[in-house]
Amino acid sequence: MDTAEEIPIATAKPVIIGLYGLSGAGKTYLIDRLKHALEEENFTFYDGSTVIGAVVPGGIEAFKELDTNEQNHFRARAIKKIRDQCAERKTIGVVAGHLFLENEDRQGEWERVVTQCDLETYTHIIYLDVDAETIINRRQGDTKRTRPFISVEELKMMKEQEKSELTVLCRENRIQYSILAPRRGESLEESLIMRLRDFKGHNEVENISRVERLVDEIMYTESDQLRTVLIFDGDKTLSIEDTGKQFWKIAPEKSSDTAHDPLEEIFASPLQYSYHAFRQAMYLYQDTFNDEEFEAACKSVAKKVSVRPEILNLLKGIMDTQYVGAMVVTCGLRRVWEIVLKNIGLSERVKVIGGNRIKDYYVVTPEVKAAVVIRLRDFHQLYVCAFGDSPLDIAMLKEADQSFVVVGTEVGRSKRMDVELKRAIENDGLHVGQILTPSTVSPRLPGMLKIIPIEDQGFIDSMFDRRGLHIFHKTTDPATKILATKMRDPANRGPNLCKHHRRAGQDLTETFITKLLGLQEYTLQSVQGSKTQGFRLLGEENTAIVPILRGGAPMAEGVWKILTCAAFLHAKVPSDLGPKHLEPHHTVILVDSVINNGTTIVEFVEHIREINPEIRIIVAAGVVQASSIAKGSKLWAIARVSKLEITALRISENKYTGKGATDTGHRLFNTTYID
């Protein structure tokens, strides 16, 4: 006869949940209750023994007469039948099963009845951890079945053995495992239903989607002026402490083995730091603590946690600006960090993403951390700076616009971080700086990671730079309306139209550009011959005016009439500007008569920033189409990384692009006959 291992298991597994526990734990009773409570929710319920009886010729009594190999074969047939039915019906299977069964012929002997097919089929197992005394009472009161006598001590021993073995088996086979014990004030049935619903709707893809939706909800409460978000890991980044370790030290009576950290045991298992491992960690908290106990333990841990003073100063800075926000994204205890931030007055502005309870609906993994950064960067088009300390943060650091490794004392550091960091830098092109806390500690990877002085004002200013698109226009100004009318009048063309464009360039410069550049004070000799103080534009001699030919030339001449010390560079395409043209300059003013979709400006901005990322870019335009500067536009996206200032005579809702007689360039130079 074929063995159980020879029965193939489908690769695309349906969700099959095993309901385990000793005989008398209440599995059959709960299955019957669940059939009614969840009849509309796409679950199918099975009693394992009943299904075995259905696949064995002669039923369950004939099954009992078979040898062990034959029994295992039919057990495998039964679980395969359940799996195939659930796959065909697209339902969630819930199966009452056993790890061990007492031998009815030999008192005191137990038979291990779980098969490899079971372990390859189950996606989740819930163990009913009912106390031995209750089980004894139920067995004695069972009038439908004759059960052999078992002592309370033997039941306690077998229950602990089952829980221990299932812990190992589930980790080895990537089965989500939850131990469900009755709690005062909680319905066992309701707790079981909550777990079944969670198992039904949770997977890696949905987990990330839930976090992305949470990020969106947080962003919708932020100011429209938000341009930069600082993302922090929690443990060992914001603080010296590991809140997970602190948590289990505070509540040792809840751990079955106080000599070991139960979280470390999960991550040291074959699950490592996978989605399944973090889900298992969530269930460790869920199964061990009720809501009140969990909250109390989190409050106790929070009292022992202090935010690194260097980072605290940075966080406090966001309280005074609407342009910068912050988030803590932690694989650890969200509730602890919420309390810590509340205690220091930052909870209103610094939100926390982290999942440790079923009701959180998600867990944070390294992939989730990266997804948060990507969502902020690409969907919300924000500039993201990420701070982390361990290999779990590297995926997040790779995706951020700026990344920083927080380095603490050597004793408290992640031992694997140097190796993982070096690999990410050499193989994946990670660009990252390191922040030493305190500044006297030895750095990581000397020579490979630049040390960033977090107290330095230049660093702080870079975090709080007003990135994004900054628009200045005169659309509603009466004088502007008169000038704009002359520029739009088809009767004006050639030199006469150029004159109005030059006037527009002057007007934009006098109204906006001079204010953006600022003034500097200098000493000069007055007409009376004495020294006096005067003013001139700041950095005017280090400014370049670039007309985007040919439509921008007349307006650029108007800008130049005010900024007489600035360089005037002609450029028809971005490549006309090389390093030698831009090297002396701190500011470039790009001038065009009309911005339609912003493509040309974006090409120039990208080219200039490739040569000099630090150079300031100001755009001067006669007309800017509103859609070209809307959120999600090309110009909005290019301004995400570094501030882009646009000055315009007017903003237009008209999306028409001129051609021939209506093209601004042709009208300026009397070449309307070309198109």
Residue 464 has pLDDT above 70, yes or no: yes
Of 641, 634, 604, give the one whose Cα is nearest residue 619.
604
pLDDT value for 675: 64
Angle at alpha carbon of residue 423, lines to 417 and 429, rounded to 5°: 115
Mean pLDDT confidence for 204-208: 95
Residue 7 has pLDDT above 50, yes or no: no
3-state secondary structure 479-529: HHHHHHHHHHCCCCCHHHHHHHHHHHHHHHHHHHHHHHHCEEEEEEECCCC
Q: Cα-flanking dihedrals φ and ψ of residue 224, to 5°?
A: -65, -15
Residue 353 has pLDDT above 50, yes or no: yes
Mean pLDDT confidence for 462-490: 85
Answer for the pair 547, 504: CB distance below 8 angstroms, yes or no: no
Answer for the pair 616, 586: CB distance below 8 angstroms, yes or no: yes
Residue 11 has pLDDT above 60, yes or no: no
Cα separations in angstroms, 515 against 472, 511, 512, 546, 588: 11, 7, 5, 19, 15
pLDDT value for 300: 94
Identify the CATH number of the domain defined by range 204-463: 3.40.50.1000
Residue 103 pLDDT grade (very low, low, confident, very high; cuts 50, 70, 90): confident
**Which amino acid is it at 422?**
K
CA dist 24 and 27 (Å) reads 8
Residue boundaries of the structural domains of the chain:
4-201, 204-463, 469-669
Structure tokens that stand for 277 in this block: 């491992």
Mean pLDDT confidence for 25-47: 92
Termini Cα distance of the chain: 85
- Lowest model confidence (mean pLDDT) among 192-196, 355-359, 530-534, 574-578: 530-534
Mean pLDDT confidence for 492-507: 85
Residue 281 has pLDDT above 60, yes or no: yes
Q: Cα-flanking dihedrals φ and ψ of residue 528, to 5°?
A: -80, -5
Residue 519 pLDDT grade (very low, low, confident, very high; cuts 50, 70, 90): confident
Residue 9 has pLDDT above 50, yes or no: no
- Lowest model confidence (mean pLDDT) among 45-54, 101-110, 599-608: 101-110
Answer for the pair 619, 645: CB distance below 8 angstroms, yes or no: yes
Query: Max CA-CA distance within the chain?
Result: 123
CA dist 298 and 177 (Å) reads 23
Q: pLDDT digit string (tens) for 584-618? A: 899 999 999 889 889 999 999 999 999 998 899 99
Is the pLDDT higher at 489 or at 520?
Answer: 520
Mean pLDDT confidence for 418-422: 93
Is the fold of 4-201 the same as that of 204-463? Answer: yes
CA dist 252 and 488 (Å) reads 79
Of 608, 475, 586, give the one whose Cα is nearest residue 541.
586
Pairing of strands 110-112, 100-102: antiparallel
Of 466, 460, 461, give the one whose Cα is nearest residue 314.
460
Residue 252 pLDDT grade (very low, low, confident, very high; cuts 50, 70, 90): low
The whole-chain average pLDDT of the chain stands at 88
pLDDT value for 646: 94
- Lowest model confidence (mean pLDDT) among 37-41, 332-336, 347-351, 660-664: 660-664
Mean pLDDT confidence for 572-581: 92
Q: Say if residue 474 is exposed, middle or buried (CB neighbours under 10 Å; 0-12, 13-18, 19+).
A: buried
pTM greater than the 0.85 cutoff: no
Q: Coil, strand or helix: which one is 345? A: coil
Answer for the pair 235, 332: CB distance below 8 angstroms, yes or no: yes
Residue 470 has pLDDT above 80, yes or no: yes
CA dist 199 and 33 (Å) reads 18
Half-sphere exposure of 334 (CA within 13 A, CB side): 19
Please report which helix (H) or strand (E) contains residue 101, including its range.
strand 100-102
CATH of 469-669, one of 3.20.20.70, 3.40.50.12780, 1.10.1040.50, 3.40.50.2020: 3.40.50.2020
**Which amino acid is it at 78?**
A
Residue 92 has pLDDT above 60, yes or no: yes
Residue 532's CB is within 10 A of a number of other CB atoms, namely 10
Q: Cα-flanking dihedrals φ and ψ of residue 482, to 5°?
A: -65, -45
Give the whole-number percent of the chain exceeding pLDDT 90.
Answer: 62
CA dist 554 and 550 (Å) reads 9
pLDDT value for 497: 82
pLDDT value for 359: 93
Say what the alpha-carbon torsion angle 445, 447, 450, 451 is, to the nearest 10 degrees.
Answer: 70
Pairing of strands 124-128, 324-329: unpaired
| b/e 99-110 (16+ beta carbons within 10 angstroms → b) | bbebeeeeeeeb
Residue 552 has pLDDT above 90, yes or no: no
Residue 10 has pLDDT above 60, yes or no: no
Residue 1 pLDDT grade (very low, low, confident, very high; cuts 50, 70, 90): very low
Structure tokens that stand for 134 in this block: 């209750």
Of 96, 100, 102, give the one whose Cα is nearest residue 151.
102
Residue 665 pLDDT grade (very low, low, confident, very high; cuts 50, 70, 90): low
| b/e 611-644 (16+ beta carbons within 10 angstroms → b) | eeeebbbbbbbbbbbeebbeeebbbbebbbebbb
Is the pLDDT higher at 551 or at 32?
Answer: 32
Mean pLDDT confidence for 615-641: 90
Instruction: Identify each DSSP E strand in 368-494 by its residue range.
Output: 383-388, 402-407, 433-436, 450-451, 469-473
Of 641, 311, 645, give the one whose Cα is nearest residue 460.
311
Residue showing tokens 């341009």: 227
Answer for the pair 74, 63: CB distance below 8 angstroms, yes or no: yes
- Look up the CATH architecture of domain 4-201: 3-Layer(aba) Sandwich (3.40)
Cα separations in angstroms, 255 against 47, 208, 248, 252, 260: 32, 30, 7, 5, 9
CA dist 387 and 458 (Å) reads 17
Cα separations in angstroms, 111 against 324, 431, 490, 578: 62, 57, 96, 80
Mean pLDDT confidence for 662-669: 66
Residue 4 pLDDT grade (very low, low, confident, very high; cuts 50, 70, 90): very low
Say what the alpha-carbon torsion angle 213, 217, 219, 222 is, to the nearest 10 degrees.
Answer: 180
CA dist 414 and 450 (Å) reads 19
Of 233, 264, 269, give the one whose Cα is nearest residue 247.
264
Mean pLDDT confidence for 316-340: 93
CA-based torsion, 433, 439, 445, 446: positive or negative:
positive
Structure tokens that stand for 93 in this block: 């299977």
CA dist 271 and 20 (Å) reads 21
Q: Which of 144-158, 354-368, 449-463, 489-503 has the highest mean pLDDT?
A: 354-368
Give the whole-number percent of the chain exceeding pLDDT 70.
Answer: 92
Residue 527 has pLDDT above 50, yes or no: yes
